[in-house]
């Protein structure tokens, strides 16, 4: 059973549907007592960094999430904005992130001459930077669906497990022990996303 955290800013339905396709049970909840029993957690997210952290703080979710991730060491997967929330801070706002992974979230910056678009949207390849159980059996041309204007930059390369190029290389998946984050949307990435979610479910 995977527990998907509902704080009002996540693409929860699509994640549940993809997990059903691979035969994994899931529940969507914001109930602290239910989260306290979670064996694995997915933290989704679509939207603004500060608004997300404010909702997590005001709802009382931060304390139980800290306990599950840092004390109980249950596997946690942050998706898109959920990955960015794992970092220390974001240029999108002023709130502190959860701070579970030594990294920061910064905005894409390109010259006008580059003709590169923000947000980074569509399918793109990922390249393994550090071996991880989350990326086991990935294909050489493994690709995922992205939609984002901000990206994560780790403080130490040991926390980067996948990189992607959009103008320059950025960290598209990160890990600190039991805590994982992916900038892309595995729930929208067909068989490539299925493989990643299967790996997470087996942790």
Q: Which residues are catalytic?
A: 80, 185, 187
Instruction: Render the chain in DSSP notation, one character per residue.
Output: -EEEE-SS-S-HHHHHHHHHHTT--EEEE--HHHHTT-SSEEE---S-HHHHHHHHHHTTHHHHHHIIIIIS---EEEETHHHHTTSSBBTT-SSB----SSEEEEE----GGG---SSEEEEEE-EESS--GGGTT--TT-EEEEEESEEEEESSGGGEEEEEEESEEEEEEEEETTEEEESSBGGGSHHHHHHHHHHHHH-
């Amino acid at each position: 059973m995977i527990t998907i955290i509902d704080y009002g800013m996540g693409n929860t339905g699509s994640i549940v549907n993809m997990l059903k396709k691979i035969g994994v049970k899931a529940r969507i909840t914001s109930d602290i007592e239910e989260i306290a029993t979670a064996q694995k957690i997915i933290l989704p997210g679509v939207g603004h960094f500060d608004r997300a952290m404010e909702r997590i703080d005001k709802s009382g979710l931060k304390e139980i999430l800290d306990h599950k991730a840092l004390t109980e060491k249950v596997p946690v997967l942050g998706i898109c904005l959920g990955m960015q929330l794992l970092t220390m801070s974001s240029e999108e706002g002023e709130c502190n992130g959860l701070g579970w992974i030594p990294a920061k979230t910064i905005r894409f910056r390109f010259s006008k001459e580059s003709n590169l678009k923000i947000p980074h949207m569509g399918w793109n390849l990922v390249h393994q930077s550090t071996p991880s159980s989350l990326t086991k059996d990935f294909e050489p041309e493994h690709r995922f669906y992205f939609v984002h204007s901000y990206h994560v930059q780790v403080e130490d390369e040991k926390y980067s497990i996948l990189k992607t190029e959009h103008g320059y290389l950025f960290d598209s998946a990160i890990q600190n022990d039991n805590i994982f984050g992916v900038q892309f949307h595995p729930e929208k990435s067909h068989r490539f996303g299925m493989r990643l979610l299967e790996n997470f479910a087996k942790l």
